[in-house]
Homo-oligomer: A and B are copies of this chain.
Amino acid sequence: MSSGLAAIVNHQVRLAARPVGLPTAADWQFTEAPVAEPGVGGVVVKVLAISLDPAMRGWMNEGKSYIPPVGLGEVMRAGGVGAVVASSHPDFAVGDPVTGGTGVQEYWSATGEQLKRSGLAKIDLRLGSLTQWLNVLGMPGMTGYFGLIDIGLPKAGETVVVSGAAGAVGQTVGQLAKIKGCRVVGIAGGGAKCEWVVGELGFDACIDYKATAPPPSPAGAATWDAVREGLKQHCPAGVDIYFDNVGGEILDTVLTRINRGARIVICGAISQYNNTRAVQGPKNYLALLVNRARMEGLVVFDYAERYPQAVAELAAYLKDGRMKSREDVVEGGVAAFPATLTKLFTGENFGKLVLKIAA
């Protein structure tokens, strides 16, 4: 097979150094290479968009985790969507829209062996748009779905609180919990996100964790805590499920309001990922004892066999309008990756953060 691929320049972003704190420009290296031929049983995918995820920060660290770290000098790991541009594998044809671990680059080439291990899958654009396949129908949606359903075990009438409510996982969790008959309270940063979560997604309430004490508040303003006050106001019956994407102070505050038998889903801790000191442990964890409650973590890959079931259910909600999605699509290709990643950690993104690589 001669496809002329070698004539195409593949722009790539590689991990140059292990960041201390927030990643900086010096942690990245931009490289160019010809696109590799797929070889026997392989494919080449033209990457159209990649997903930017808080988990990326963890992949950049040395050390044992649920998957190996990205090696120094390797193309940065990323989930992406794209189109097959060359294939010698019977399951994939040129033109097929696909999703998989493309990395931060313009073309992803896989040999037959690499393809087998990659989890590359065709996607059906009638179920959702390309960017929705990185959001509600992609990893964040799967994480929200299995975290809420399998770990959170929601029952109609229960109160669900979700942090990072306007983010990729949070938006799915909250809307799904509403569909399951729960009262849903989001926590997000800023009035615009909160308004969208309530007005557009139909959450019962959303707490702006950045809010300051409402006037008149001469006394006590310094110790006023938007999350504490918001939970008091919006969760009068306590919290049955807390889906935690942020960790830190917010986790500690929610722990003070949990009900007996509460389930806390530990999905992430974005507030802690760029720490240069130790992670802040939940000092109120003994609320688990007092309330016979549970804190449990999940890694979405464990549910891979059930993705099709979750995709079908979520796609049906997208179709009937009960599930909406918002993606924050940044233009600029791979060169924009470092600056775009930073937006996640400063909370500048509004909706699922996606980097467009090509049209």
Which A residues have a C-beta under 8 Å from some C-beta of B? 64-66, 247, 252, 266-269, 272, 278-299, 302
Contact = CB atoms under 8 A, between A and B. Distances in A.
Contacts of A286: 247, 266, 269, 272, 279, 297
Contact of A298 (B65, B252, B289): B289
A302 B287 CA distance: 16
B296 A295 contact: yes
Q: Is the interface of A mostly helix, strand, loop or mixed?
A: loop
Given A282-B282, A285-B285, 17 more contacts: A64-B290, A66-B289, A66-B290, A66-B291, A269-B286, A269-B289, A278-B283, A279-B284, A281-B282, A285-B295, A287-B297, A289-B299, A290-B299, A291-B297, A292-B297, A292-B298, A294-B296
Nearest to A272: B286
A261 to B, nearest CB: 10
29 contacts: A66-B289, A66-B291, A252-B281, A266-B286, A266-B288, A266-B289, A269-B286, A278-B283, A279-B284, A279-B286, A280-B281, A280-B283, A281-B281, A281-B282, A281-B284, A286-B297, A289-B297, A289-B298, A290-B297, A291-B297, A292-B296, A292-B297, A292-B302, A293-B296, A293-B297, A294-B294, A294-B296, A295-B295, A295-B296
A254 to B, nearest CB: 13
Nearest to A275: B283
A289 B264 CA distance: 11
A267 B284 CA distance: 14
Contact of A292 (B291, B293, B299): B299
A214 B64 CA distance: 28
Contacts of A285: 266, 279, 281-282, 285, 295
A147 to B, nearest CB: 10
A288 B283 contact: no
Nearest to A244: B289
A302 B293 CA distance: 13
A297 B279 CA distance: 22
Contacts of A287: 297
